[in-house]
Amino acid sequence: MGNIEIKTSQNVSIEFETATALERTIAFLIDFAIMVTTFFILVGVMAANASGSSLSFLMILVYVLLIFIFFGSIIIQEILLGGRSVGKIALGIKIIKTNGREATPNDFFIRWGFKLIDVTMSWGFFAMFVISSSKRGQRLGDVVANTTVIKLKPSNKVSLAELLKMHTEAPDVGITYPQAIRINDEYALAIKHVIDRYGKYKNETTSQIIKDLAEKLKLELQIEIKEKSYLQFLKNFLADYVRLTR
């Protein structure tokens, strides 16, 4: 599992968690299973309605269907669903450009063209090795197309367990902000996420978010901020929440 950091045109860093080789493999197997099932259903329907004189035509149609389903169905899904297929939707992953923009139909065709090297010729082992060793989680087709596959719901978000850990780490002092009892765990997790985000990306955007969040709490809960910095206020407020609720 890796991460890809993308800088927007406003010079704001956004971090995405890349999909693992296993997740991408499972997504492909789901897509492949759907392709095979669809193929056999169509062949069965055609065979049931074919006469002896039309078997030759049926065989040609079967080959055409096989080529279309295998080479076209996933690409069509990725184009129509914005970088996702049924398998990718099931795994919560998506194809994007390495600059953070949406991948184009041309990118999907390039990626699929390299499946012969990445997947087919090595039964997928070469692709899994390259993805696992790549900092951006890319296989060869991704490198050529300047794409990667990201998780839409990253697993590295702040968890409740991390919040509870603050209870043992926080010094045993008095409560400065008793109003903290009025928020819930979801709100507290959001505050923790903002603090952690600022610690990782110190820029004008994250500084403004810290200020806006502090002012929002001040207004909503009628709090008088005692600290000189908004960041320290949020840390102390969060620590009080943990002491009051755990």
Task: Look up the pTM and report it.
Answer: 0.62
What is the per-residue pLDDT for 50? Answer: 67
Dihedral over alpha carbons 226, 228, 231, 234 (to 10 degrees): 0
Query: Is 88 in a helix, a strand, or coil?
Result: helix
- Please give the mean pLDDT across all residues of the chain: 81
What is the per-residue pLDDT for 7? Answer: 57
Is the pLDDT at 36 greater than 50? The verdict is yes
What is the per-residue pLDDT for 15? Answer: 66
| 38-53 pLDDT per residue, tens | 888 877 777 777 666 5
Q: Which residue has the tokens 């049931």?
A: 48
| 57-100 pLDDT per residue, tens | 777 777 777 777 777 888 999 999 999 999 999 999 999 998 87
Run of H or E residues at 7:
strand 3-7
| 183-241 pLDDT per residue, tens | 887 788 888 888 888 887 788 888 888 998 899 999 988 999 988 899 999 998 988 88
Decide: residue 230, CB within 10 A, 0-12 exposed, 13-18 middle, 19+ buried. buried
